[in-house]
Structure 1
Amino acid sequence: MRHILLLGLCLLAAPAFAQNCPPAGHTKASLEALKAQQFALPDAGAKRQLADALLGCLSDPNPDLRDGIAYEALAHWMRAGDFDAPALRTLRDKLYRSLDGEDKTGFSKPFAALVLSEVARTDRIGPWMTPQERAAMTERAADYVESVRDYRGYIEGEGWRHGVAHGADWLMQLSLNPALERAQYRRILAAIAAQVVPRSHAYVFGEPERLAKPLLFTAKRGLLSDADWAAWFAALPPKVGKLDRADYAGWLARRHDLLAFLTGLYLQADQSEDAAIKALKPTIMAALKQMQ
């Protein structure tokens, strides 16, 4: 009995997918050759099998395998409409388990989120999720964005982690989906607000711009009231806090991040031809004035 219990615990602790990369039967060279052929695989079953196997490469320390092959192949096949709903559900659920697991190198979760943004896109292009599944994915995406504490972006020789940006991409694909409801947009905004002003990190890899995109598409839907927007923006400046000489670097980082987010948003709203987005300008300006 003790051995059975230990085996059960080991299975529960096991990763969502095998970490073999390249997958069995493949080499880095063969995968690069497949990439050169634009990931063309005539056999649908072989393509689905390889897609499952490539999930293990999303945590690989080699950016050529992780980003240049695994992510690109999965995104290419999904954008080509190569997977049916059962295959997409399988990919989605394995990626969810990856988000719930350990991530010792810091690659697995950000790249699971990035691939999940492509899964979300497939549902926008051709709906296949139930309303309950879509709401659950929105909650998953928001939870992931709020959970990010590893703010590493690009490191030479290691490539990208970019957890906040990849999570923002997932939120963006969801925010573009006309099937989302008001409550889900509010959840997306709560997640954005949680990362606009991290405690003591200055964004340098375009994160404020990426966080702004799902907000702009949320505004475009027009499901939130002026009062909703006023309250949301008014809550941002207090996150910077008062100048404290004991935490001067942290205060500067927070101020830098919020200014980058708000000024970028203001420019987007000013140049937009969409009335709902343009209507954000006074509210954004009010938040900027709170920082003076």
Structure 2
Amino acid sequence: MTDWALVRAEGFAVPPDRPIIDLVAELSGMLRSPDPVVRDGQAYATLATWIGQGVLAPELLRELGDELAGRFADPEIQARTFAPLVLDAIVSAGVFEPAWVPPFERWYVAEEDLRGYDAKLGWLHAVAHGADLLGALGRLPAVEPVEMLRLGVGRMLTPTDHVWRDLEDDRLGYALAATLTRTDLLETDATGWLDPVARVLANHPADGVRPEVSNTLRTLRVLYVLVDRGVRINDSVVQVPHRELVRDKLADVLRTATPYFL
């Protein structure tokens, strides 16, 4: 076993005494750990650093991505929610397999454990971690942007008893905004994905606002600001190509639930 705390303390230098494939296999296993120090502070931090630095060859990243795509069906919540974080790093590094998308989509809409932080397990953050991968895929030319926009709608509108409290709305709003920066997105597609949201928000419940409605409204308000101001991607601020149309559509949708929205 490698002393991963020491690896982190030494700036994530690759240990020279073991093959890199064995090191990655050990780190991948650690991503399932219920111990947040092991999972988040050591395994994820090391893998994200190595992937970002180009330490891992594309072939190894594909193998790791295949393994992580299978984690979306894992019985352990921490295993499921840390899979998209590392897949985001892999996709952002330029390695992508279309087979990773369907299991991610199935998990992201269906995940019921939406806790952000747990006192024992640490950060779980299914909505936020999934949003990070959604945004990375949404910017990828090999993925249809509308597919990711609709996935975001599915996550927002899926019935839940959990009100997001750990900036999940910000992370998902950013992912949707980043997807909307795609220059190949047609005008109708840039606004049409919001139609299901408008229909749900127009049906005001008599017994109070459902958690998923509250989550949706806060996410769309974040999105409105980003569409209006621009989306920071890496070191640049990128404008949404159909900015005025999308902004007006968002205002119309929000107004169905909150008539005082300008």
Provide the TM-score with structure 2 as the length reference: 0.86
Moved more, 72-81 or 236-245: 236-245
Query: d(CA) in 2 for partners of 1:41 and 1:191?
Result: 37
Match of 2:127 in 1: 164
Query: SS of the counterpart of 2:100?
Result: helix
Report 1:201-216 matches (<5 A).
201-216=162-177
What stretches of structure 1 move > 4 A for 4+ residues in a row?
A: none
User: Is the counterpart of residue 283 in structure 1 residue 253 in structure 2?
Assistant: no
Query: SS of the counterpart of 2:55?
Result: coil
User: Is the counterpart of residue 242 in structure 1 residue 242 in structure 2?
Assistant: no
The one-letter amino acid paired with 2:43 is A
User: Is the counterpart of residue 57 in structure 1 residue 57 in structure 2?
Assistant: no
Query: SS of the counterpart of 1:189?
Result: helix
Match of 2:136 in 1: 173
Query: SS of the counterpart of 1:81?
Result: coil
User: Is the counterpart of residue 94 in structure 1 residue 59 in structure 2?
Assistant: no
Match of 1:11 in 2: none
Query: d(CA) in 2 for partners of 1:117 and 1:253?
Result: 27
Report 1:128-277 matches (<5 A).
128-129=95-96, 133=97, 135-177=98-140, 179-181=141-143, 184-199=144-159, 200-240=161-201, 241-245=203-207, 248=208, 251-272=209-230, 274-276=239-241
Match of 1:76 in 2: 49
8 A Cα contact 2:146 2:193, kept in partner: no
How far is 1:45 from its partner?
Answer: 5.5
The one-letter amino acid paired with 2:204 is K
Query: d(CA) in 1 for partners of 2:217 and 2:88?
Result: 27
Query: d(CA) in 2 for partners of 1:65 and 1:118?
Result: 19
Query: d(CA) in 2 for partners of 1:195 and 1:281?
Result: 21
How far is 1:98 from its partner?
Answer: 2.0
Query: d(CA) in 1 for partners of 2:138 and 2:53?
Result: 21
Report 1:26-65 matches (<5 A).
26=2, 30-41=3-14, 43=16, 46-65=19-38
Query: SS of the counterpart of 1:235?
Result: helix
8 A Cα contact 2:78 2:124, kept in partner: yes
1:120-172 C-alpha deviation (Å, 9 max, x unpaired): 1111xxxx54xxx3x33333332231221111110223211111111111111
Task: Calculate the aligned-residue CA RMSD, in Å.
Answer: 2.0
Unaligned residue ranges in structure 1 (runs of 5+): 1-24
How far is 1:277 from its partner?
Answer: 5.7
Unaligned residue ranges in structure 2 (runs of 5+): 231-237
How far is 1:214 from its partner?
Answer: 2.4
The count of corresponding residues between Structure 1 and Structure 2 is 248
Provide the TM-score with structure 1 as the length reference: 0.78
Q: Which of structures 1 and 2 has the bigger CA Rg?
A: 1
